[in-house]
Structures are given as structure tokens and as C-alpha cells.
Amino acid sequence: MCTESLAGVHPRVADAIQYALRSPGKRVRPLLLLAAYQAAGGTGDATRLSCAAELIHAYSLVHDDLPCMDDDDMRRGRATVHRVFGSRTAILAGVLMIPLAVEVVRASTSSMHLPESRARAIARALLRAAGSGGMIGGQLNDLLGEGLSLDLGELERIHAAKTGELIAACVAMGALAADAGPEDVHAFESYGRRLGLAFQIMDDVLDVTATTSQLGKTSGRDQALGKSTYPALLGVDGARRRAQSLVEEGLATLRERGLLTTKLAEVANFMVSRTS
């Protein structure tokens, strides 16, 4: 479904992109986008739009795993893209997913008959989250921070950029597509930022507590790479508590504005109770 826009892409790169997209992931970002869309009163079909978010996320995983980045062999229980297709194809496939995501936003917002200004706001939210203030900036700070002792504030800024901004953008994109007003969009974004940070904290926790087969990716990587993590700074229980309280804050923000749905609460609670 995300891959209909691959017509014309070189077969080898298209295979690599499909491999990256079709891996058995949790699909947290598209699920959140859809849940926010519905919570904000959207009645159309935002499924295709949600693929744009997954494309950007999947691109980041493909590049994260590269030999010159985290150098990982496993992702979502399978060999990483560069292990199957080689680093060249993995880099090109990853890069290509950025303009593809923009194209998916354009096509989906057009088929949803959204006004031009909404379509642009949605594309900007996604690209901003992917850009220097978001994922790529956070990823770089994360890599540069390897082997350094970061304090909680520094770690939180890195995680907020690396994971929080894209999750916040997904929720905002859903709200924007449902024609939510600026204050509601802002509330959804706050919820998304807190959720994103909680999600990353739980990633750190699971890296310590879960096995490689539970995670579907190599466990214990953070320690091996000398990364600062929440469990190292707060202990495993302290990190869990921090994640839980972030989720509660996020849910409260939505509840206050009457935007909290069962689905949004479910996704939030899944994110802190997950075991993989």
C-alpha cells in the first residue's frame, strides 16, 4: 500500500524499499497518525497519508543501521537492508524515500481533497521533523555523543529531536488532515513529543532488559557503542517511571481539550508497556 508510488523506481532499489517497508514493524507512526486523524474528527481515509510517515521512519532505520553508522546486522527480526542489498543500494534507497514521502503526501492530500494550505502544512511538518531540528539533527548528535557522558538534559534534547519530532509530526499531520484548529494541532503535537520521548526511553530500557530475539534487533548495542542512556542515568525502574509519567502528561494534554480517544490512549500505553 505504501509502495504504489514505486512505479518507475529501479527494481533493485524498489526491492530494497519494499523490504524496508514490509518488515514486521510495530507501525507506531502510521497508527498514531490515523488515531489523531480520527480523534480530530476526520472522516475520510488517511491510510495513504500515513505511509508517508512510515517512509521517513523506514529511511531513518535503513541509514541508522549502515556500517558507518550503528553498523547493525539485524532489524525487526531480519537482516538489515545493507546486509541484503549492500551499502550502496541501502544509501540510495534511503535517500529516495524522502522525495517519495513528499510525493505520497502530495498524492494523498490531493485524493482527500484537502485545501492547498493544509497540504503544504502537512508536507512541512513531515520535512521539518525529518530535517536538522528533527531526526537527522538528533541522529547526528546521537552519533557524536557516543563515548561521551551526557547529562539528562542533553540526552533528552537528543532523543526529543531523534524520535520525538517525527512522532509529534505524525500526530500533527493527522490533526491537520482532519482540519483541526491551531490550538488542537498544538495539543496533539505536545502529546506526540511526550510520547516520542517515552518511546525512546523504553527503547533504551529494552536494549538492556530484552533479548535480541525479543527485540528483533541486536540487544545491548547502546552499551557496546558507549552511548549514554536513560537506564544508565536513572536506573531501569527510574527510566520506566519517567516514560510512564511522560505518557500521562501527554494524555492529560489531550483530555483537557476533549481530544482523547480510546485508540490514542491505547497506542500511548502500548508504547510504554511493550516488550519488543
Return the range that interacts with a second copy (CB under 8 A); candidates 140-148, 165-173, 180-188, 230-238. Answer: 140-148
Total residues in contact with a second copy, by rule CB under 8 A: 42
Interacting positions 174-233 with a second copy (CB under 8 A): none
Residue 92 interacting with a second copy (CB under 8 A): yes
For 144-180, b where at least 16 C-beta lie within 10 A, e where not — what string? ebeeeebeeeebbebbbbbbbbbbbbbbbbbbbbbeb
- Judged by CB, which is closer to a second copy: 165, or 184? 165
Residue written as grid cell 502537512 = 122
Which of 175, 170, 174 has its CA nearest to residue 185?
A: 175
Residue 107 interacting with a second copy (CB under 8 A): no
Strand partners, 74: 79
Asked if residue 105 lies in contact with residue 123, where contact means CB atoms within 8 angstroms, the answer is yes
Asked if residue 42 lies in contact with residue 108, where contact means CB atoms within 8 angstroms, the answer is no
- Taking the C-alpha atoms of residue 240 and residue 273, their distance in angstroms, rounded to an integer, is 9
Least Cβ distance, residue 73 to a second copy (angstroms):
16
- Judged by CB, which is closer to a second copy: 103, or 248? 103
Query: What is the DSSP secondary structure assignment for residue 181, as one 8-state letter?
Result: -
- Taking the C-alpha atoms of residue 86 and residue 16, their distance in angstroms, rounded to an integer, is 10
Residue 91 interacting with a second copy (CB under 8 A): yes
Binding mask 1-20 toward a second copy (x if CB under 8 A, else -) reads -----x-xxx-xx-------
Binding mask 51-80 toward a second copy (x if CB under 8 A, else -) reads ------------x--xxxx-----------
The alpha carbon of residue 195 and the mean position of all alpha carbons in its chain are separated, in whole angstroms, by 11
Interacting positions 113-132 with a second copy (CB under 8 A): 116, 120, 124, 127-128, 130-132
Interface with a second copy (CB under 8 A):
6, 8-10, 12-13, 63, 66-69, 86-89, 91-92, 94-96, 98-100, 102-103, 106, 116, 120, 124, 127-128, 130-133, 136-137, 139-141, 143-144
